[in-house]
Amino acid sequence: MPTEQSISLTNLAAGNMVAEIKNKVLLDTLNGEKTSRYPVWVMRQAGRVLSEYREVRAKAGSFINLVKNPELACEVTIQPVDIFDVDAAIIFSDILVVPEAMGFPYIMEESKGPVFPHTIKNISDVEQLEDKIDITDRLHYVLQAISLTRKELNGRVPLIGFAGAPLTILTYLIEGKGSKTFSEARKLLYTQPDLCHKALEKITHVTIQYLKAQVNAGAQVVQLFDSWAGIFPAEQYNRFGVPYLKRIGDELQNSVPVIMFPKGAWMSLKEFSGIQAKAIGIDWNTGIAEARNQLGAGKVIQGNLDPCTLYANLHDIRQQTLKMLGSFAGNRHIANLGHGVYPDVHRDHLKCFVDTVKEFNI
């Protein structure tokens, strides 16, 4: 029997599908249509770079409270669309809501980032990972935020949903926090590979259900963030990372366009040429020409300006952005940074980047 939450989500999503998208440059690019310019949006565009965001976060009381408040999450999701005129909104959330829904809650420590009080060390820990869960119940707040945002956007730009890639999620669960070496996660992949595959199977299953629920709630594009892909050697990443992303791509290929961002995994880009994803994100250490050579003509490439470029003066930001756009050579690209915008970047510098892209004709 559907719950009251699932009924309300269905009704919200149904109402959101009516509005026609006015700015389709991102969707057209992802779908192989010719456009007059490159689309642009920025990872972490809804965040501390905006004083408006900081005010809403103060009202929420904490980052996690903000993530779990659909109305406030909707508000900060739309802020960069209003302020920077980007070509897409990306729902304000966190990749760690998935392991929390699977029974491994996290806390957000100021100046340190996310911390998991309980980590994965052995098979009994993996058995505690719950994979037979009701997504519309445990992650209802994300789905409601997506539906509310679709309604409030009213077709201005498409809305991107997202999740963490399975290997990145497992890395957090093993380490319990960020790390300089990630030695605990890397060690476990070597010493207990079967345990790791079992955990990855569970995470992948829940991630697929979660992304499908996001699409049902109104997401028009989804992105997989494999934030720690680059810490693993190619052989290890190709064994523990790529196959699970491939499975997610296969499951979603008849749904909405999928973007995958395997940060730092330049050594494995060739593997992504055959994955069912419309676009592959690259970081600033990966050359555009080399990425195109590895991925082939059929993939859209997303990226890849160094986020630190935005600390430069406006003239230099514009010149570096134009240099990046020129390297695209008229091919299928989405302009973005090579990672999320840093919180102490001046908002005018981010606006300069966005405006420069939008003024550039292909």
Catalytic residue among 44, 156, 186, 247: 44
**Best CA proximity match to 202, nearest among 101, 272, 91:** 101
172 classed as catalytic: yes
Take residue 313 and report the two structure tokens written for it: 């003066």
Give the whole-angstrom CA distance, residue 70 versus residue 145: 4
Which position has the token pair 């499975």? 247
Q: Cα dist. 194→17, 162, 171, 198, 271 in Å?
A: 43, 27, 15, 6, 22
Give the whole-angstrom CA distance, residue 27 versus residue 264: 25
Q: Phi and psi of 26, rounded to 5°?
A: -70, -50
Local structure of 181: helix, strand or coil: coil
Which position has the token pair 């060690």? 187
Catalytic residue among 48, 54, 239, 347: 48
**Best CA proximity match to 221, nearest among 180, 265, 179, 252:** 252
Contact 260, 298 (CB under 8 A): no
Catalytic residue among 57, 239, 318, 347: 57
Catalytic residue among 38, 106, 172, 244: 172
150 classed as catalytic: no
38 classed as catalytic: no
Local structure of 149: helix, strand or coil: helix
**Best CA proximity match to 325, nearest among 295, 305, 341:** 305
57 classed as catalytic: yes
State the sign of the Cα–Cα–Cα–Cα dihedral 210, 212, 218, 222.
Answer: positive
94 classed as catalytic: yes
Catalytic residue among 38, 53, 87, 94: 94
Task: Kindly list the catalytic residues.
Answer: 44, 48, 57, 94, 172
